[in-house]
Amino acid sequence: MASAQSCATDDVNREYLQKHPEIAKYKAQMEQEFQQALMKVRFSSTAAAKIVSPYTPSKDSDYALVYIPIVVHIVHEYGAEYVKDDDIYNWVDRMNVTYIKKNSDTADVVGEFKPYIGNARIQFVLANKDPFGNPTTGITRRFSYLTRGGDDQAKQDLWAPDRYLNIWLINKIGRGASSGVVAAYSVFPSTAAAVPYTDGVIGGATFISQNSGAPRTYEHEIGHYLNLYHPWNNSNKGAGEDCGDDEVDDTPPTTGHFGSTAPAGALHPNGAGNCNLDNVIYDYDTACIHYKGPGIPDPNFETLADVKDTIVYSPGDTLRYTYSASPYWKNVGTSNHDVVVMDRNLAPGTVRSIFGHINTHGGKAIEVRTDSAAVLNGLVSAAAQNGPFPFKHRPATLTGYWKYNNVGNNHGYIKLLMTKYDSVNHVRNTVTSTTYTLSGSQANWARFVIPVNYTTGDNPDSATIILSAGSDNNTNWASGNFLDVDDIALMDGNDGYFKTFTNGTQQDTADYPDIANTQNIMDYSDCPKMFTLQQVDRMRSTLKSTVGNRLRLITPENMVVTGILDTAAWMPIKRADLKPVPDFSVEKSGNSTERSYFLCASADKPFVFKSQSWRDTITATSWSIANGSTGTNTSISSAVTAPGWVDVTLTVTGNHSGDTTITRKAAVYAADPNNLKDPMNGYYQEFNTDGDVASWPIFNYYNNDFKWELLDNNGFYDKSCIVYRGFDKRVYPATLIGAPAVHEPTSGNLLSKDYDDFFTTGFNLSNMKDGECNLNYMYSGASISADPSILVDTLEVAYSTTCGTSFTTFAYLTKDQIFNKGQYTDPYAPLWLGDWALQSLKIPAAARTAQVYFRFRYKPNSDASRNELGISNNFYIDRINISPFPLGVNTLVGKDKNIALAPNPTNGNAYVVINGEQGQTANIVVTDITGKIVFRTSQVLNDKLSRVEIPANAISVKGMYLVQVAAGNQNYTDKLISY
């Protein structure tokens, strides 16, 4: 993982645990299963020798090769996330190389960890059968706004998670977007057991590339899917914040590492921040010295409180971090116990009390203990690989017990070498070197006492103990017979139970080098190269577990169901050569800033289409655009001369499998540039089938349930209108996917949302350049939520004077401009005229041209606290028109309605709008429900369209009034509601 990227697995699974406490039970079950698999025999049979049998680095595991069917779901908007099939195939191949330890960069793993590289022997195979048994390449594609940070809500098209590993590739992960880039995340098996609908891996599509800066993002995430944690997992913090452990014994406790830099405190002799260089990562996370768990002190050592970590380096040596304390120990508990001293840098695997020994050139061996029952363990290695151990408080003597393992020798030698580091010249200078002869025999442990003396003022900072069983000359010392007392830990060996000890948690079963495993795939460094042996054990244990149905993935029966394996030969079946899937995108036209679905039917306004076909190598392409062009190129630019909806047909041919055709009806709309309405002639859109509603196209771009649609059973005057279906009817678990909008969990920032449009026919507003010019409509809407902070749905109204190539938004409507009826928890519909309200929008001067089109765009919001449930309800619009009257006056008259009422919400007045002959007299009478006249007036009509005001004080009492109008031969009576 790269320094700019991280993984959101911990956060996601922690949130699910809060919502589903049963996850803890599944997690505990998996831990128990892993421990049982790993430690079948922990102790020897004799009570006197109850010590752990350490897990020892060994050859590659003997696990049988297993196969996991996978399906890759590409959620896209035809952007960078729309990766090619070949890119998917190559990416899966690279992951497979890593999971069988064939990746060549394991050669760059530092020497200490080379013996620990594990071979998972796991292979991932794209499914050959979908859940219905149909042939597939294991890749699906869905066009969705949720590609932009949709996260779990983008996990549409889930295939049965007990049969397939589902991987979703999207444009970007949303969570954490306010503080950096999150590459991907996964669901642990324990979480999947409680919430199977989210099971799988999801991440940015660009991270499948070798050149992404995070080359093993998905190997990392699949590790989580198979129950691997970050190496600092139980710190419950982010990488680099605090020391933690991962329930795997051969990965050192660590704080975690970002990018290409070494752990804190490392010395960089070459000045390079390249974690492929040994000299950069040869360090130990100093925060993890004597790690017991987050915030837990070490109670088992007398002198460890002031242990100081030290970097030792000499020119030509390998940089190495070592530390220790004086070998004075105390027993744990109130009574005496045998205490076993374990060297945490143990190289050879040994059992029982003869835990550390030095093999000499003569095959002899020497053991050293701190008392008659406890063994002091040593490491046989070359001098250049082991520095001295530092000490802060020098003891007066070093005391221990020793004996030979071989008959025929009764003496040995021990050297105490004390040195001091010269930080100027980068060398370590010897302060004193003293050799002592050890006398004893094979049968009996002999006690030795070594004085720790040096000249006052020399102040050595480190000391090394070196043992030899053959001679005291330097030749034998140099032959490799050295003891490095490094990172010593205590364990109670008498009561049959493990005590917590240095650099691990209780019941550790493996030793590990005392340097950070920065190159571990589960860390965040830029150079992930390896899993450890016990990480492999943990993954393989997971594949034997029923938790999260991981066991079923690898069964022979599932190999048949998913079509990936010839079970007789136990070999993957060759991927089927299937017919291509034709698909295309609508591209931008001209200088458009958006995809051009709406343009004029004009030779100079071509639509642009691009083939996005997939599932085979395409060898031929054929286009047929209704009322437009034909072509054979991958992209086509086609002018459409006939107005109306345009069908697009695309045929693609594969290299071996034949051709496939798709016809997408009503793909785009060509507006009639000659059908321009003059509002002064009284044009109204009632959205009924008797009118020209067909020239008002509706687009549901993402083909979901949140959309505009025509209605024939409700409306302001008649039973027709247009409605935005915003009521979120999803019921759990459907609420887990497909939200109308998504937000970042931490900041609450909006990440992406749906949007839907309808367009008007063209208008000629050239006669309305001066004076009032307003776009009017009646509306009625409600919301599911009553929380004003999230009632931020918007209706955006825009105009285009360029035949659709560009639009300018001039009105943003929200809150009570949409939700005038407040909260309704059931699907909302207006019941009477009083449920409707008037909206009048001032049309900008720039839009008052001889040819202008309007676009109504609805953008919904959701409630992040309720799993992104949509907060809006249904929103209705009716009787759209353009008028020359002041804002708030809706010219409702038209067609058979030459007289109409219009409330004026700006001052409480009402208007009677009359379409009559100039010079006529209009008589208006307003009565209350008792028949009492509250207002009467007569007025001579001065224009073809006239308005007569009913003052607010005449209708100040809330309730219903009757308005009677007589003008010429027209008579009209209507209800007026005052509220």
Provide the pLDDT for residue 478: 25
**Going by C-beta distance under 8 Å and a sequence separation of 6 or more, which residues neighbour residue 424?**
none
- With cut-offs at 50, 70 and 90, classify the pLDDT of residue 258: confident
pLDDT value at 602 more than 80? yes
How many Cα atoms within 13 Å fall on the side-chain side of residue 711?
Answer: 23
pLDDT band at 410 (very low <50, low <70, confident <90, very high): low
For residue 517, give every residue at least 6 positions away whose Cβ sits within 8 Å of its Cβ, in sequence order, or none.
Answer: 113, 116, 231, 251, 252, 254, 523, 532
Q: What is the pLDDT of residue 387?
A: 30
Report which of residues 625 and 179 the model is more confident about. Answer: 625
Give the Cα separation of 578 and 528 in Å (integer): 36
Average pLDDT, the chain: 76
At 645 the pLDDT is: 97
**Reduced to 3 states, what is the DSSP secondary structure of residue 198?**
helix
Question: 968 with 917: CB under 8 angstroms?
Answer: yes
pLDDT for position 236:
63
Catalytic residue selected from 221, 686, 744, 796: 221
Most confident range (mean pLDDT) of 385-389, 484-488, 642-646 is: 642-646
Mean pLDDT, rounded, for 280-300: 41
Cα–Cα dist 121/100, whole Å: 5
At residue 54, does pLDDT exceed 70? no
What tokens were used for 461? 């900072």
Pairwise pLDDT comparison (465 vs 327), residue with the higher score: 465
pLDDT classification of 255: cutoffs 50, 70, 90: confident
Q: Which residue has the tokens 């089927």?
A: 576
Asked if residue 661 has pLDDT above 50, the reply is: yes
How many CB atoms sit inside 10 A of residue 36's CB? 10
SS3 per residue for 421-472: EECCCCEEEEEEEEEEEEECCCCCCEEEEEECCCCCCCCCCEEEEEEECCCC
**pLDDT reading at 528 higher than 70:** yes
pLDDT score for 396: 55
The whole-number pLDDT of residue 251 equals 85
DSSP-assigned letter for residue 818: T
pLDDT of residue 383: 24
Q: Mean pLDDT lowest for which of 503-512, 594-603, 712-721, 949-958? A: 503-512
**What pLDDT score was predicted for residue 393?**
37
Which positions ≥6 away from 759 have C-beta within 8 Å? 598, 669, 671, 696, 697, 699, 804, 853, 854, 855, 856
pLDDT in tens, 338-365: 222 323 222 222 222 222 223 332 333 3
pLDDT at 937 over 50: yes
In the chain, the percentage of residues whose pLDDT exceeds 70 is 67
The pLDDT of residue 551 is: 95
Q: Do residues 54 and 149 make contact, with C-beta atoms less than 8 angstroms apart?
A: no
Q: What is the pLDDT of residue 922?
A: 83
Q: Using the predicted structure, report yes or no on whether residue 506 has a pLDDT greater than 50.
A: no
What is the model's pTM?
0.73
Residue 275: what pLDDT? Answer: 43
> What is the pLDDT, as a whole number, of residue 413?
66
pLDDT band at 320 (very low <50, low <70, confident <90, very high): very low
Would the pLDDT of 451 be above 90? no
pLDDT at site 360: 30
Residue 452 · residue 396 · CB < 8 Å: yes
User: Which of 163 and 460 is assigned the larger pLDDT?
Assistant: 163
Q: What is the pLDDT of residue 240?
A: 61
The structure tokens 């840098």 sit at 345
Higher local confidence (pLDDT), 885 or 240: 885
Helix (H, G, I), strand (E, B) or coil at 740: coil
- Is the pLDDT assigned to residue 756 strictly greater than 80? yes
pLDDT over threshold 70, residue 407: no
Q: What is the mean pLDDT of residues 33-58?
A: 46
Q: Is the pLDDT of residue 664 over 90?
A: yes
Identify whether 221 is a catalytic site residue. yes
CA atoms of 923 and 935, how far apart (whole Å)? 11
In the predicted structure, residue 60 carries a pLDDT above the cut 50 = yes
Least confident residue range of 24-38, 255-269, 663-677: 255-269
Is the predicted pLDDT of residue 59 greater than 60, yes or no?
Answer: no
Pick from 618, 330, 622, 640: which is nearest to 492 by CA? 330
Say which range, 167-181, 363-377, 459-473, has the weakest mean pLDDT.
Answer: 363-377
Dihedral pair phi/psi, residue 440, rounded to 5°: 170, -160
